[in-house]
Amino acid sequence: MPDITTVWDIGLMLGDWQLDGPALLAGNDLQTAVLISLFTDRVALPSDITPDGDRRGWWGDDARYPIGSRLWLLGRVKGPLDVPQRAQDYAAEALQWMIDDGVVASFDITAQWINPDRLDLTVTANRADGSRVAMNFPQVWTG
Protein backbone atom coordinates (compact mmCIF):
# COMPACT_ATOMS: atom_id res chain seq x y z
CA MET A 1 0.00 0.00 0.00
CA PRO A 2 1.47 3.39 -0.95
CA ASP A 3 2.12 6.15 1.55
CA ILE A 4 0.20 9.39 1.78
CA THR A 5 1.64 11.76 -0.82
CA THR A 6 3.31 14.90 0.45
CA VAL A 7 3.08 17.73 -2.09
CA TRP A 8 5.47 20.69 -1.99
CA ASP A 9 3.82 24.15 -2.00
CA ILE A 10 6.44 26.49 -3.47
CA GLY A 11 4.61 29.67 -2.48
CA LEU A 12 4.26 28.70 1.17
CA MET A 13 7.54 26.74 1.30
CA LEU A 14 5.94 23.76 3.00
CA GLY A 15 4.74 20.25 2.36
CA ASP A 16 1.07 19.41 2.57
CA TRP A 17 -1.36 16.57 1.89
CA GLN A 18 -4.08 16.66 -0.74
CA LEU A 19 -7.42 14.95 -1.00
CA ASP A 20 -8.23 12.40 -3.68
CA GLY A 21 -12.00 12.38 -3.37
CA PRO A 22 -12.83 11.57 0.27
CA ALA A 23 -9.40 10.03 0.96
CA LEU A 24 -5.90 11.42 1.09
CA LEU A 25 -3.89 11.24 -2.14
CA ALA A 26 -1.48 8.28 -2.05
CA GLY A 27 1.57 7.31 -4.08
CA ASN A 28 4.76 9.15 -5.07
CA ASP A 29 6.49 7.49 -2.13
CA LEU A 30 10.00 8.43 -3.27
CA GLN A 31 9.15 12.12 -3.60
CA THR A 32 7.42 12.08 -0.21
CA ALA A 33 10.46 10.46 1.43
CA VAL A 34 12.76 13.05 -0.15
CA LEU A 35 10.54 15.95 0.97
CA ILE A 36 10.37 14.72 4.55
CA SER A 37 14.11 14.03 4.58
CA LEU A 38 15.02 17.48 3.27
CA PHE A 39 12.45 19.76 4.86
CA THR A 40 11.99 18.54 8.40
CA ASP A 41 14.46 19.99 10.87
CA ARG A 42 17.14 17.56 11.98
CA VAL A 43 18.64 18.43 15.33
CA ALA A 44 21.81 20.51 14.98
CA LEU A 45 25.13 18.94 15.86
CA PRO A 46 26.82 20.28 19.01
CA SER A 47 29.43 21.88 16.71
CA ASP A 48 26.84 23.70 14.57
CA ILE A 49 26.38 27.42 15.07
CA THR A 50 22.65 28.03 15.35
CA PRO A 51 20.94 31.37 14.67
CA ASP A 52 19.40 31.64 18.14
CA GLY A 53 20.95 28.84 20.19
CA ASP A 54 18.00 26.50 19.49
CA ARG A 55 19.21 23.14 18.15
CA ARG A 56 15.69 22.37 16.81
CA GLY A 57 14.86 18.85 15.71
CA TRP A 58 11.40 17.30 15.92
CA TRP A 59 9.71 14.45 17.76
CA GLY A 60 10.51 11.92 15.01
CA ASP A 61 14.21 12.74 15.03
CA ASP A 62 16.12 9.99 16.83
CA ALA A 63 19.80 10.29 17.73
CA ARG A 64 20.50 6.78 16.37
CA TYR A 65 18.45 7.28 13.19
CA PRO A 66 18.11 11.01 12.57
CA ILE A 67 15.33 12.16 10.26
CA GLY A 68 15.38 15.48 8.45
CA SER A 69 18.10 17.83 7.36
CA ARG A 70 20.17 20.68 8.66
CA LEU A 71 19.18 22.91 5.71
CA TRP A 72 17.39 25.09 8.25
CA LEU A 73 20.82 26.24 9.48
CA LEU A 74 21.16 28.23 6.24
CA GLY A 75 18.04 30.28 7.02
CA ARG A 76 19.83 33.31 8.43
CA VAL A 77 23.11 32.97 6.57
CA LYS A 78 23.74 36.11 4.53
CA GLY A 79 24.96 34.44 1.35
CA PRO A 80 28.59 33.47 1.73
CA LEU A 81 30.12 31.61 -1.15
CA ASP A 82 29.91 28.26 0.65
CA VAL A 83 26.07 28.21 0.86
CA PRO A 84 25.63 25.99 -2.26
CA GLN A 85 28.18 23.46 -0.99
CA ARG A 86 26.65 23.44 2.49
CA ALA A 87 23.17 22.94 0.99
CA GLN A 88 24.44 19.99 -1.07
CA ASP A 89 26.21 18.50 1.95
CA TYR A 90 23.14 18.86 4.20
CA ALA A 91 20.92 17.33 1.49
CA ALA A 92 23.30 14.39 0.97
CA GLU A 93 23.40 13.77 4.71
CA ALA A 94 19.59 13.85 4.93
CA LEU A 95 19.10 11.46 2.00
CA GLN A 96 21.85 8.95 2.88
CA TRP A 97 19.41 6.66 4.69
CA MET A 98 17.68 5.87 1.39
CA ILE A 99 20.97 4.66 -0.09
CA ASP A 100 21.78 2.67 3.07
CA ASP A 101 18.33 1.03 3.00
CA GLY A 102 18.53 0.22 -0.73
CA VAL A 103 15.64 2.50 -1.70
CA VAL A 104 17.86 4.14 -4.33
CA ALA A 105 21.34 3.41 -5.65
CA SER A 106 22.54 7.01 -5.42
CA PHE A 107 21.57 10.66 -5.59
CA ASP A 108 22.85 13.48 -7.75
CA ILE A 109 22.43 16.72 -5.82
CA THR A 110 23.03 20.19 -7.23
CA ALA A 111 22.58 23.51 -5.49
CA GLN A 112 22.63 26.45 -7.87
CA TRP A 113 22.51 30.21 -7.46
CA ILE A 114 19.58 31.60 -9.44
CA ASN A 115 20.41 35.14 -8.43
CA PRO A 116 22.36 36.58 -5.48
CA ASP A 117 19.34 36.14 -3.23
CA ARG A 118 18.08 32.70 -4.26
CA LEU A 119 19.48 29.18 -4.22
CA ASP A 120 17.63 26.25 -5.83
CA LEU A 121 18.23 22.56 -5.16
CA THR A 122 17.90 19.74 -7.69
CA VAL A 123 17.86 16.15 -6.49
CA THR A 124 17.94 13.22 -8.89
CA ALA A 125 17.32 9.78 -7.43
CA ASN A 126 19.12 7.03 -9.34
CA ARG A 127 17.32 3.72 -8.85
CA ALA A 128 19.02 0.33 -9.02
CA ASP A 129 17.07 -0.51 -12.21
CA GLY A 130 18.68 2.48 -13.97
CA SER A 131 15.63 4.73 -13.87
CA ARG A 132 15.99 8.27 -12.58
CA VAL A 133 13.57 10.56 -10.77
CA ALA A 134 14.42 14.28 -10.85
CA MET A 135 12.98 16.68 -8.29
CA ASN A 136 13.45 20.45 -8.21
CA PHE A 137 13.16 22.54 -5.07
CA PRO A 138 13.19 26.26 -5.79
CA GLN A 139 14.14 28.77 -3.13
CA VAL A 140 15.86 26.41 -0.71
CA TRP A 141 17.67 29.52 0.45
CA THR A 142 16.72 33.16 0.03
CA GLY A 143 18.86 36.05 1.20
From the first residue on, what is the mean pLDDT of each consecutive set of 10 residues in the chain (143 residues)? 71 74 77 90 90 84 84 80 91 96 97 88 96 91 77
Report pLDDT for 9: 73
Domains and CATH numbers, the chain: 7-142 (3.10.450.40)
Radius of gyration of the chain (CA): 15
Strand order through the sheet with 106-115:
106-115, 118-126, 132-142
Residues forming a β-bridge with 8: 15
Report pLDDT for 62: 76
Report pLDDT for 79: 66
pLDDT, tens digit, 9 for 90 and up, residues 18-38: 777 877 767 678 988 999 899
The rounded distance, in Å, linking the Cα atoms of 75 and 114 is 17
Report pLDDT for 2: 67
Distances (CA, A) of 108 to 18, 27, 113, 116, 122: 28, 22, 17, 23, 8
Degrees to nearest 5, angle at CA 45 with 41 and 46: 135
